[in-house]
Chain A
Amino acid sequence: MSEQHIDGEILTARQVALLAAIQNRLIPAQDEMPGAGDAGCAQTVDGFLKERTALRRPILAALNEIEATAGAYAQASADDEASTHVAFLALSDAERDAALRAVEAAHPDLFNTLLRQTYTAYYTNPAVLRILGWRPPQPEGYPTPPPFDEKLLDNVKRRGKLWRDA
């Protein structure tokens, strides 16, 4: 394995490594933004799976489909499959994206569950939110805007009554 991961609560080390690599293609590193896998979203999704058992089946199935698809790619192009335990990791970025698009087309529900949980992990990640400049809504709230100006309603008022008697 080219990337070291340890067992999660629900996912094995191999599955954590696969998920992190997938997530780095779903939300790749760009400028100041980290890739989703590098930001720790595989471990976060592992935590979701611990809490919400209904997610386990679709997420595990999505990982299996992606790895199976990657295995087909790897077999067609790679010569050193013995060097890796995770076929997806043996692929180039372009091949990884192609494998993901193939699974997205063949199994949209599974793929969307994986994508949704990855987005959820990424956009609730404290480091990511700090870079984006987001803070919790309370206790500060936000500044109160200027009061409403009733003069803005002059045109509407000029139209007169707009409801039916009944």
Chain B
Amino acid sequence: MAPSNEAADVLIIGAGASGAAAAWSLASGGLDVVCLEQGDWVDPADYPHTSVDWELHRQTDFAKDPNVRQRPEDYPLNNDDTPIVPLMFNAVGGSTIHWSGHFPRFRPSDFRVKTLDGVADDWPLTYWDLAPYYEQNDANVGVSGLSGDPANPERTPRQTPPLGLDTATKTYIRGLEELGWHWWPTDNAIITAPFGEGRQACNYCGPCDMGCPIGAISSAHVTYWPAAVAQGVRIITRARVREITVDRRGRASGAVYYTAEGGIAEQRARVVIVACNGVGTPRLLLNSVSSLFPHGLANSSGLVGTNLMFHPVTFVTGVFSDPINAYVGPLGMVLHSQEFYETDTGRGYVRGFQIQMGRESGPLSTALGNFPGEKVPWGADHHRVQRELSAHTLTAAVMIEDLPEAHNRVEIDATLTDSSGIPAPKIVYEVSENSRRCLDYAIARGRDLLDAAGATQIMGQPIARETGWHLMGTARMGDDPANSVVNGHGQAHDVPNLFIIDGSLFVTSAAVNPTSTIQALALFVSDWLKQNFRDVAS
């Protein structure tokens, strides 16, 4: 093994959304921070957006599913026992490189579902605890949108204006107003005006899901990382962590990792932070087995890996007789409706969902039926159907709250490994009866919306498989060590100098995209750690 480095104050494992925010926060507090990341920096020249075959890359080296993408830095997943496939990107910036940039916040009620609705558990913190960190995070990364949404608590003016009023947006508004539903321009981590250094305002090119070559999307590698590195944070890339090490007292002492050259090295630290998100974090903890922690690190509760939540998602696509040209503009949502967000038991389920007004992509996406779920037919009708659909559709995503269930889990696969030989995760997950009823209700509302917007044909599918963007709940927060992995400050109950700051922390999932909450939590935990570092590290 390479000689151990000098122990850092803090080792962060994972350079994605949460690791980046924490690195910036901790370094700004004067701490010495090292980050290990299994991926590398993405070279802006590698983005496919200027290539004629740009859509091919969505099927290959920029595919959202790591099992399809199969870059050297990706790890495989056994997805045989799940109807929803986890999606992620491994690089400095993590999945925020590969991202639509939706940046909604949880609502106050999302932190109190047990008290309000009698299901799952309350969080050990409230919306109001996190609110200052949501604000700080928005100011740091840059968000487009409009304050004043009556469906959410007030927030400060957004850093840049909302996305513009194109045909897609106007068409959705026609339907929403006809139905009298709540709607609002979505907070997006996409700048629409100058903000930050070296970043350009969105030029409506479309495929955000393969990265943003002009830095308009507020991905962690263009927001937090440059500032963190300027403050002295060291990122070691292509560093694949095999295990977190512990000392004789049962405290985390660092991590052993495979280097870019294939050898092993150890990084020692006074505090270790795991930031690998809802699949990577439990995988690492469960792989970190020792005589003191025979069932995995921080796992005396047996809960590490359990309570996995996705957001079950499906798409409802409307076909319009006039061109919409919705391939222009960020792929993700322009508007959202939270008309059906809070519990109404008369609908046959608890909790709720959000409808996200999305767009369309290029001709290959249309032919493959990426949103409606069915390919354009082959044979004599092919060109006619392709012409009728291309540039003539809008796709609304319905995304429901997923409640925690212990049997939905990440475990270690018995035989599968990554290319370094590190055991790979297996996902075991099923959609609950409550979720199924909620999805069915939500799909029907999506159809109502597109009908009211003037669609001549509406297509959909019961559930979409490749939608596991949101990985949550697998090392949950809580006050009771028997019922949670970490406390309300992200500190492991079993290992006082081990922290978790990613989607694994989530007690419940809400029905909105998680990244702004992940980053707000990372800043919240980091602030507490800065104030208590001396006690925690000794």
Which A residues fall within an 8 A CB radius of B? 25-28, 30-31, 33, 51-52, 97, 100, 112, 115-116, 119-120, 122-124, 126, 129, 132, 134, 136-150, 152-153, 155-157, 159-166
Contact = CB atoms under 8 A, between A and B. Distances in A.
Contacts of B180: 155
B56 interface: yes
B196 interface: no
- B interface: dominant SS: loop
5 contacts: A123-B55, A136-B50, A138-B49, A148-B146, A155-B177
Nearest to A137: B205
B441 interface: no
A132 B390 CA distance: 10
Interface stretch (B147-155, B287-295, B470-478): B147-155
A119 B163 CA distance: 32
B48 to A, nearest CB: 8
Given A148-B162, A162-B182, A136 B107 contact: no
Interface in B371-401: 375-376, 378-380, 382-383, 390
Given A115-B375, A145-B166, A166 B204 contact: no
Contacts of A27: 378, 382-383
A123 B151 contact: no
B52 interface: yes
Contacts of B161: 147-148
B342 interface: yes
Contacts of A141: 202-205, 214
A114 to B, nearest CB: 10
B60 interface: yes
A56 B164 CA distance: 45
Nearest to B164: A145
B206 interface: yes
Contacts of A134: 362-363
Interface stretch (B111-119, B309-317, B430-438, B512-520): B111-119
A159 B328 contact: no
B319 interface: no
Contacts of B108: 163-166
Interface string B46-62: 01011111111001100
B465 to A, nearest CB: 14
Contacts of B368: 116, 119-120
A142 B329 contact: yes
A156 B150 contact: yes
Nearest to B57: A124
Contacts, number: 157
B184 interface: yes
A126 B107 contact: no
B204 A33 contact: no
A144 B191 CA distance: 13
Interface in B173-187: 173, 177, 180, 182-185
Given A120-B364, A138-B205, A163-B109, A148 B342 contact: no
A28 B379 contact: yes
Contacts of A149: 165
B237 interface: no
A25 B382 CA distance: 10
A26 B379 contact: yes
A142 B362 contact: no
A142 B206 contact: yes
Contacts of B50: 136-139
Contact of A148 (B164, B182, B205, B378): B164
B344 to A, nearest CB: 12
Contacts of A139: 49-50
Given A31-B383, A136-B50, A143 B363 contact: no
Contacts of B376: 119
A116 B63 CA distance: 15
B364 A136 contact: no
Given A115-B375, A144-B204, A132 B363 contact: yes
B533 interface: no
A112 B369 CA distance: 12
Contact of A164 (B116, B203, B328): B116
Nearest to B168: A145
Contacts of A115: 375, 378
Interface string B350-363: 00000000000011
A147 B60 contact: no
Given A124-B55, A164-B342, 8 more contacts: A31-B383, A124-B54, A138-B214, A156-B184, A162-B338, A163-B150, A163-B152, A166-B109
B503 interface: no
